[in-house]
Amino acid sequence: MEPVVGSVLHFSPAGSGWVANLQDDDDNVWQEPVVGWGCVVVWAAYAAENEDVETKGTKQFQTELQPIMLLEDGSMEPLVMRDGITLTGLVMPGMVLMPRTGEASG
């Protein structure tokens, strides 16, 4: 079986306190808690969308370590599956953001 883009090949729960800073295409900015980390397929040569003649039809795929978020319905979703959403930063447990500069301290 070949993994498809968005497949989570491995999941590990995140320690409490990790927060993802997110931004959408309309420049709305917000934070969401990270519930885990996933090894997520982000590209597959055998996907129908692949138009690269050198890799098309091969068994190649690429993975990334992605933060996993909890959706309103209780299901989990890797960030890569959220079209139009960009991860602008991660706040680690114990990290304090300075109010005026937005710079991290910790």
> pLDDT for 43-99, tens place per residue?
888 888 878 888 888 889 999 999 999 888 988 888 878 889 999 988 887 776 655
Q: Rounded to two decimals, what is the model's pTM?
A: 0.73
* Beta-carbon contacts of residue 89 (< 8 Å; ≥ 6 apart): 20, 21
Q: How far apart are CA 67 and CA 38, in angstroms?
A: 6
Q: Where are the domains of the chain?
A: 8-94
Question: Rounded to an integer, what is the distance from CA 24 to the centroid of its chain?
Answer: 14
pLDDT of residue 26: 95
| The pLDDT value given to residue 48 | 81
In whole angstroms, give the CA distance from residue 69 to residue 76. 6
Q: Please name the amino acid found at residue 6.
A: G
